[in-house]
């Protein structure tokens, strides 16, 4: 069955879907069969069904078979809410994807030897360890900032490696890894230093710490370089997490040109146990769009195990 027909059938079947543990639907219909991989919706993904409460979104997501969640900015949530989130996810054996620890798109940071920048990065890593422990994740996301138009590229790379080493000196003893994110310059983030998977892999290898890894954002990499599966294979030893989004449009799998069923099948067969963060929008609004989101992942997850 192709994705279009699969989605149409799923939407029809899901018309009576419940709101999970919130109990506000008289007709309970869930799909608790767990997905093969740990796809992680955001805490507001199912707000048309259960509102904006993160706890209700966790319950609903688990009721539909998801075993992960993600929130780029969970570090900004009140500590008591963070603790409630962790408690609810632990009850349901759910993992949390990486949160953004450092990503300043307007500043030259990692590419410099600026002592104040390095001091800031070290302090940021220390605070990141504290938050990561509290929210029960071993991954924090880092974007190395802008490139320097006035400095040879290789010198910038050497500076990035050195600054990453300082960061890893804080993270590695705590059992926390930073995942460096290459971002595309064509559609979303012009001017950033880190844009490609081979570049990220080279930096991780030069840093030489298990605390230096990569988040493979498949949406960004399709725009920047394509070659999704071969790059996964070549960077496998350093990939700590994935971000998902189809291209063009940055919506759920099946709405663009990426063959997510094949990509997910490949990731599964390689034995990936981490989180694949659903960092994308929905192609349809309201409850119908949330059902389409679920069915899109059912379709993409229907690869042969």
What is the domain partition of the chain in residue ranges? 3-19+30-300
CA 253 to chain centre: 14
Contact 271, 237 (CB under 8 A): no
Per-residue pLDDT, 22: 40
Q: Which of 268, 264, 272 lies closest to 244 in space, CA to CA?
A: 264
Distances (CA, A) of 291 to 19, 181, 255, 268, 298: 11, 29, 14, 24, 11
Both structure tokens of 105:
């798109």
pLDDT of residue 19: 42
Q: How many Å apart are CA 205 and CA 161, to the nearest integer?
A: 9
User: Where do runs of H (alpha helix) occur along the chain?
Assistant: 3-13, 47-50, 54-63, 79-91, 115-135, 153-171, 197-207, 218-224, 228-235, 260-269, 286-300
Per-residue pLDDT tens, the chain, 305 aa: give them. Answer: 565 555 555 554 544 454 444 433 323 345 679 999 999 999 999 999 999 999 999 999 999 999 999 999 999 999 999 999 999 999 999 999 999 999 999 999 999 999 999 999 999 999 999 999 999 999 999 999 999 999 999 999 999 999 999 999 999 999 999 999 999 999 999 999 999 999 999 999 999 999 999 999 999 999 999 999 999 999 999 999 999 999 999 999 999 999 999 999 999 999 999 999 999 999 999 999 999 999 999 999 999 98
* pLDDT at position 199: 98
Q: Output the pLDDT for position 24.
A: 37
pLDDT (tens digit, 9 = 90+) per residue, 131-175? 999 999 999 999 999 999 999 999 999 999 999 999 999 999 999
* Element holding 302 (H helix, E strand): none
Helix, strand, or coil here: 241?
strand
Could you give the percent of the chain with pLDDT greater than 90?
89
Q: Which residues contact 189 (CB under 8 A, 6 or more apart)?
A: 105, 183
CATH code for the domain defined by 3-19+30-300: 3.20.20.150
Q: Are 163 and 202 in contact (CB under 8 A)?
A: no
How far lies 283's CA from each of 18, 47, 49, 109, in Å? Answer: 21, 15, 16, 35
pLDDT value at position 5?
Answer: 57
pLDDT of residue 17: 54
Give the three-class secondary structure for 107: coil
């Amino acid at each position: 069955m192709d994705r279009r027909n699969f989605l149409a059938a799923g939407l029809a079947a899901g018309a009576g879907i419940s709101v999970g543990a919130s109990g506000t639907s008289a007709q309970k219909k869930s799909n608790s069969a767990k997905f093969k991989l740990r796809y992680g919706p955001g805490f507001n993904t199912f707000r048309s069904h259960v509102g904006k409460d993160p706890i209700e979104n966790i319950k609903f997501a688990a009721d539909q078979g998801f075993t992960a969640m993600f929130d780029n900015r969970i570090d900004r949530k009140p500590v008591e809410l963070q603790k409630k989130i962790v408690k609810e996810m632990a009850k349901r054996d759910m993992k949390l994807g990486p949160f953004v620890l450092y990503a300043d798109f307007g500043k030259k940071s990692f590419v410099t030897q600026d002592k104040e920048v390095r001091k800031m990065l070290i302090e940021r890593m220390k605070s990141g360890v504290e938050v990561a422990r509290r929210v029960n994740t071993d991954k924090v996301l880092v974007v190395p900032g802008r490139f320097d138009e006035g400095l040879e590229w290789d010198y910038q790379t050497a500076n990035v490696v050195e600054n990453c080493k300082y960061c890893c000196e804080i993270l590695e003893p705590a059992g926390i890894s930073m995942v460096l994110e290459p971002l595309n310059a064509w559609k979303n983030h012009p001017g950033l230093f880190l844009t490609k998977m081979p570049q990220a892999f080279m930096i991780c290898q030069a840093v030489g710490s298990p605390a230096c890894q990569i988040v493979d954002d498949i949406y960004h990499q399709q725009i920047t370089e394509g070659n999704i599966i071969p790059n996964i294979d070549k960077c496998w030893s350093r990939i700590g997490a994935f971000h998902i989004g189809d291209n063009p449009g940055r919506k759920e799998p099946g709405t663009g040109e990426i063959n997510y069923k094949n990509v997910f099948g490949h990731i599964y067969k390689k034995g990936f146990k981490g989180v694949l963060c659903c960092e994308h929008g929905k192609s349809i609004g309201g409850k119908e769009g949330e059902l389409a989101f679920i069915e899109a992942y059912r379709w993409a997850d229907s690869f042969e195990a």
